[in-house]
Structure 1
């Protein structure tokens, strides 16, 4: 499941789900892979990298 995959990737599952659910509506469909647990980075991490 998505939750188990997030756990296997060492993510805080609650933070992951909260972030993905708030971003998914505005996220481009062709870039949904970025929101998968093994690719995901919190929005704050992405802002610091820019």
Structure 2
């Protein structure tokens, strides 16, 4: 599953939070050395 597919499946709040994290990552060379922030899961059960 691609990152764009995962982002399309999550709540808008998570998508916005990821955009903030990605912006911070792009502006900080030390963070860039640690690797790109990714969304690993997008499933949310009906129990939540």
Structure of greater Rg: 2
Note whether the superposition's TM-score is higher than 0.5: no
Q: TM-score, normalised by structure 1?
A: 0.39
Q: TM-score, normalised by structure 2?
A: 0.40
Q: Which has the higher contact order (CA 8 A, sep 6+)?
A: 2
